[in-house]
Chains A and B, each alone.
Chain A
Amino acid sequence: MIEAIQFASFSEFLDMGGYGFNVWSVYGLFTVFVAANLISPVMKRKRIVRDLKRRAVVNEQQSN
């Protein structure tokens, strides 16, 4: 099932049998797609928590 690594050199690996542009574009796009949809909710969570904390402080000051 797993045969040997298909490439003898790194330049062959980059070339992908002449289809390097297409293959690497797909893997590049896929990486951006996965990273963006994981990083963006994590960043948003930080913003939300920061915002809610600030509100809590304001509320406390008002009630004092």
Chain B
Amino acid sequence: MNWTWFHKLGSPKWFYELTSKWLPWLIGAMVIFLAVGVVWALLYIPPDYQQSYTTRILVIHVAVAGTSLAFFPLMAVAGTITLVWRMKLADMVAKNAAPLGAWFSFITLATGSLWGSVMWGTWWEWSDARLVSMLFQFFLLVGVVALRSALEDNDTAARACALLSIVGCINVVIIKYSVEWWNVLHQPSSPLSMSGESANGPEFWVPTVVMIVAVYLFFAVSLILATRNEILQRERKAAWVQELVSKA
């Protein structure tokens, strides 16, 4: 098997050039999906017979919450690559994913609270495992960011964060199945149906899927932008960066 692609992938320069080509398309698609998702959700979703117009909150909540679960697996994969192959690029991605993941977790909690406060009659419930495990994910991600800044040596910080990211994946499994293992307030995910016979008809889930795609694109764009900054800083002595800067 030819492993050239794998080593290329680890090269910051290669990543930088590749994302220079991808970014305009990713940003364009992100803008379109965000606009369609938000307008569709706000204007066209019919009011639910029990939840009225608050289902508009769920479109955002579900998209952000679902994407927030991708952070620990991503950081764990990147961390493993860092630990095994010492690939610089993997650590740059992991480093910048952590604070973004904390944002995602926080927005998940805040939008969930804003829905729960009117539909459950409470902003928070400590006995609900879904809520508490998501709060734990937020603290874990803040912890990864703090650990990174506390350790001065880059290699030590990278290895410590990689280990914490791998352990953090256990919590993702708990978040995912919490609604099935313990049934307190948070409902399990609802099945989709084209006919509208189940809880979610297409008038609700299609804009939700559009928003999920939009949020994933936003996640990719934001992480790529941050990683490119990291590359410019860490590779500032490289000839290609100096050339790029002189032209900018």
Q: Spell out A's residues near B (CB within 8 Å).
A: 1-7, 13, 16-19, 22-23, 25-27, 29-30, 33-34, 36-38, 41-42, 44-45, 48-49, 52-53, 55-56
Pair B221/A29 contact, Cβ less than 8 Å: no
Which of B53, B60, B203, B245 interacts with A30 by CB under 8 Å?
Answer: B60
Is B40 engaged at the interface, CB distance under 8 Å to the other chain?
yes
CA distance A39 to B218 in the complex (A): 12
B189-218 CB contact bits vs A (8 Å, 1 = yes)?
000000000000011001000000000001
Q: Which residues of A contact B118 (CB under 8 A)?
A: 19, 22
Pair B54/A53 contact, Cβ less than 8 Å: no
Which of B56, B107, B232 interacts with A33 by CB under 8 Å?
Answer: B107
Pair B52/A18 contact, Cβ less than 8 Å: yes
CA distance A10 to B119 in the complex (A): 24
CA distance A25 to B12 in the complex (A): 39
CB contacts under 8 Å to A, within B64-120, are 64, 100, 103, 107, 110-111, 114-115, 117-118
Total residues of chain B contacting the partner, CB 8 A: 44
Pair A38/B225 contact, Cβ less than 8 Å: yes
Pair A25/B114 contact, Cβ less than 8 Å: yes
B60 CB, min distance to chain A CBs, angstroms: 5
A24 CB, min distance to chain B CBs, angstroms: 9
* Binding stretch for chain A, among B42-50, B124-132, B135-143, B165-173: B42-50
Pair B245/A16 contact, Cβ less than 8 Å: no
Which of B38, B57, B222, B228 interacts with A22 by CB under 8 Å?
Answer: B57
SS of A interface (majority): helix
Q: Which residues of B contact A23 (CB under 8 A)?
A: 53-54, 56-57
Q: Which residues of B contact A37 (CB under 8 A)?
A: 100, 103, 218, 222
Is B34 engaged at the interface, CB distance under 8 Å to the other chain?
yes
Q: Which residues of B contact A38 (CB under 8 A)?
A: 218, 221-222, 225
Q: Which residues of A contact B246 (CB under 8 A)?
A: 53, 56
CA distance A20 to B117 in the complex (A): 13
Q: Which residues of A contact B64 (CB under 8 A)?
A: 30, 33
Is B20 engaged at the interface, CB distance under 8 Å to the other chain?
no
Is B8 engaged at the interface, CB distance under 8 Å to the other chain?
no
CB contacts under 8 Å to A, within B5-45, are 34, 38, 40, 42-45
CA distance A47 to B225 in the complex (A): 14
B193 CB, min distance to chain A CBs, angstroms: 12
